[in-house]
Chain A
Amino acid sequence: MAGTMATSTPAGAFSASQTGVFGHGVASGDPMPGSVLLWTRVTPTPESIPGSGAGPDISVRWEISTDAAFTKVVARGTASTGPARDHTVKVVAGHLVAATSYWYRFILGQEVSPVGRTRTAPAAGAVVDRLKFGVVSCANWQAGYFSSYRHLAARGDLDAVLHLGDYLYEYAPGDYQARDVLVRPHDPAFEMTQLAHYRRRHAQYKTDPDLQVLHAAAPFIVTWDDHESANDAWKGGAENHTPGAEGAWGERFAAAHQAYAEWMPVRYEAGGQLYRRLDFGSLASLSMLDLRTYRDQQASNGTDPAIGSPDRTITGVSQMDWLLGNLTSTGPQWKLVGNPVMIAPVRVPSTLNTAELGGVQKLMGGTSISGVPYNVDQWDGYEADRNRVVRHLRDSAVKDTVFLTGDIHSGWACDIPADPASYPATGDSVAAELVCTSVTSDNLDDILNLPPRTGSVAVENAIKAANPHVKYLDFDSHGYSVLEVTAAGVRMDWFVLAERTSASSGAALSTSFNVQAGTGKVTPAQGEIQ
């Protein structure tokens, strides 16, 4: 028995460093039973600033140990880097023991990086008592501070952190912030459209002390959504891309992907395949989706017949086949899906007033048709692909599938109806969806410019009434989630920040929902994950 995966690490055990050779911190990612990916960025000379293309090719030493004092180093090596990859370093530390905590660091000359902690996944088929993940998305530097990351790091009990996308934003200062307040301006001070811009923006985010501490505390498992490239990206363009003035989309998309590959602790290299699966013994698999690279253009609005076209896709054919192949009754019990945009159907009632409709429309990225906005950027806009997933789960009676979702800057807990029409009578659900809110990005009260938990509450109630499979909705809060996985159930706790624009904001538990094994349904849970 592998036992409970995580071991407790004292809060504050990991330090941040915004300057010097290792001023962008260290990170690990994509834990597997025998290996984990280690990441850092070095600044070997003063001119080797991110995005500059300047500086020498160098070799960086790395080592990984079973103790924080590095008296039991189990592997070490060197990795080459240079301006061609913006002086980022990625190595896969292999030959590790499954379900084991490790500490790692990098060395360049006399300079030693901050120490990071990571942990390998349990062996294939191993019995696992419990997994615990941090779950985050939508962290806009300009809209506030990353207190959510600090609070997650302080827990010291996470097996990994799932980042479901919008790790960074493309906008120029003033374009997208905390309501009307620019809390921290982006660098570079314009919209990122070229490789050097993307590299500099990634570098800026990696100087955030809360982000550095969380990266050092636990391995990340990431996927991108749209803002890693541009708003509402699809394979041939984006809402926030102007061909010509901002270059060709293909070049911009490739630049975004290259910077992402360089700067993120992920087993992905530019031009490769981001969607991937990680397994955690017999307890859970985690399929991380890429819903931007292969998708067709969004439908023009909610009444566009293209929404139901079997020829349009959000996943692409190969990724859909891969996903359905992962959602089977063989293999690990829980089928977790890292899902950048919501899959549960959401219909917004026409009973909302104009301001409320406008706010929801802006938040959900939809288009207003006769007072009923649909979010055509979500799976709602690609009904044929969603039907493939739902029908597969239903036809094969695949149990214990949970979609873990970001993107929408709000907290949701939903059943995914086998048939939305009959759901009110039958309650039949093929899976559950748990949506974490934004770390900082604006949500409904921000858009409506109202105090939290005032005007949004009526909207939430109207949406829940129109969508009985939506059991929880918080349109206002910023924060993070903690996910616990056991054989008995999957549970999410939502934590909300007191004030995103305060660098020292506290956080408190808001609510909890559970998905009991075998049910595919969300139900309220009591207490707090321990």
Chain B
Amino acid sequence: MRRSPQPGAPAGNRLSAPGRRQFLQIAAAGGAAVVLSAAQGTAWAAPAAGRTRSYVLVVDGCRPDEITPALTPRLAALRSAGTNFPAARSLPVMETIPNHVMMMTGVRPDRSGVPSNSIFDRVEGMVRDLDRSTDLHFPTILERLQERGLTTGSVLSKKYLYGIFGARASYRWEPQPVLPVTGHAPDAATMDALLAMVSGPDPDFVFTNLGDIDRVGHSDVSGTTLRAAREAALAATDLQVGRFIDHLKNTGKWDSSVVMVLADHSMDWSIPSNLISINLILQSRPELQANITIAQNGGADLLYWTGPEPDRAAGLAAVEQLVSAHEGVLSVKKPSDLRLGDEAGDLVAYCRAGWRFSDPYVASNPIPGNHGHPATEPIPFFVSGGHPRVVKGSVSSEAARTADVAPTIGGIYGLKPPAGGYDGTARGSALTP
């Protein structure tokens, strides 16, 4: 069923409500159309003037040293104009889904239930991605800001991100077109959607993921021979960020906008011979191999004991010893040491820089560009924008983390911490009171 635009919907856009959701189709660049969704009854009218707009742009997989005036001039200029946090880092496990969740919840995985991209689901008896809305057990600022009468939006390029955040935002964009293999929408399409959302319902806060840099990073076979492809992706994403900044300025929204840019993790490249298969390591001990299930997360393997309970302690100790002895393994941690929660299993193995895990089979992970291990912790992290509260041209030594996003954005709107408080820290040095 298709309805006529409701009062408040931007002229020229079409509104429909096939079920409990309503859809708005907005004309985008090049004559394409962007379809946004919202809960039934959500107003499409832009909120009143005189408010603060805030945007979080995640340049997925970007290393902080890749933002340079020559390669990414718009991002570099944005960073110089605001407050930069060069000591910023991603949090364990340095993967996309958990760090996006930490950004929006402000809490660590032992409270959110989302420790990694891939886990072994003990109930379902299978290794799977944490891509379901029900996997996230902690309120995000996407819905908490709505409780204060504000509106929020999510423009996430990756299918699994769209999946886990589900209908939490007031307005959502489902990524499309989604490229085969990568499972993400190109940044040009994602930016079309973000511009449409800002032009249309114009939420107070929008959470955006730009996935191209990460996806090229994953496909770079050496980190050197295809460096040109990586740089092309960086330059292209930078153009998209430039489109967004130009849009805010051209529509008079810049002076009311706080723009926060960060990555969820960075990237590390391994040569084909530098792979670790824990399943292969355990081949020499069939009684261990049979009782361990592995959720592979690139630079980190999550290990789950599935054998008899009486054998657990001794079995895990033996596994830890065997895995630690591999030259490519940096460390083996207990999930509690990393605040990962029960979903992360019994042991977490990190690889060294220049290595990757490939489990359960040697051929399971042919991707040379990986993250999840400590080598991929450093991230760009800066707060910029035209809003007068943004501290201009500053650099801070503060150790910013992905979990700091929610308290920082929440602080802009006077949002109280969630029950139990944040694990992250509001980066108040980037914003004047």
Interface residues, chain A, with chain B CB atoms under 8 Å away: 127-128, 282-283, 329-330, 332-334, 391, 394-397, 399-400, 418, 422, 425-426, 486-488, 517-520
Contacts and interface: CB of A to CB of B under 8 A. Distances in A.
Given A486-B395, A487-B396, A517-B395, A397 B86 contact: no
Contacts of B89: 329, 397
Interface string B55-71: 00000000011000000
B375 A397 contact: yes
Nearest to B393: A488
A517 B397 CA distance: 9
Interface in B224-254: 224
Contact of B378 (A333, A399, A425): A399
Contacts of B374: 395-397
A422 B398 CA distance: 32
B223 interface: yes
Contacts of B266: 397
Describe A's contact surface by its main secondary structure. loop
Contacts of B353: 391, 394-395, 397, 418
B316 interface: no
**Which of B353, B354, B375, B399: most chain A CB closer than 10 A?**
B353
Given A333-B86, A333-B87, A391-B352, A397 B397 contact: no
A282 B378 contact: no
B377 interface: yes
Contact of A426 (B84, B224, B397, B399): B224
B384 to A, nearest CB: 15
Nearest to B268: A397
A371 to B, nearest CB: 32
Given A394-B353, A399-B378, A127 B87 contact: no
A403 to B, nearest CB: 19
A518 B375 contact: no
Closest 4 CB pairs of A and B: A517-B86, A333-B397, A488-B395, A518-B86
Interface size class for chain B?
Answer: 20 to 34
Contact of B330 (A395, A425, A488): A395
A155 to B, nearest CB: 24
Given A397-B353, A518-B86, A283 B378 contact: no
Contact of A518 (B65, B330, B354, B399): B65
Interface string B350-361: 001110000000
Contacts of B99: none
**Which of B64, B65, B398: most chain A CB closer than 10 A?**
B65
B397 A399 contact: no
B82 to A, nearest CB: 13
Interface string B362-378: 00000000000011111
Nearest to A281: B397
B154 to A, nearest CB: 29
B397 A282 contact: yes
26 contacts: A128-B397, A283-B397, A329-B87, A333-B87, A333-B399, A391-B352, A391-B353, A394-B353, A394-B375, A395-B330, A395-B353, A395-B374, A396-B374, A397-B89, A397-B375, A399-B64, A399-B87, A399-B378, A400-B87, A418-B353, A422-B224, A486-B395, A488-B395, A517-B86, A517-B395, A518-B64
**Which of B87, B266, B377: most chain A CB closer than 10 A?**
B87
Contact of A519 (B65, B224, B399): B65
Contacts of A334: 397
A2 B397 CA distance: 13
A283 to B, nearest CB: 5
B261 to A, nearest CB: 14
A522 to B, nearest CB: 14
Contacts of B397: 127-128, 282-283, 332-334, 487
B69 to A, nearest CB: 11
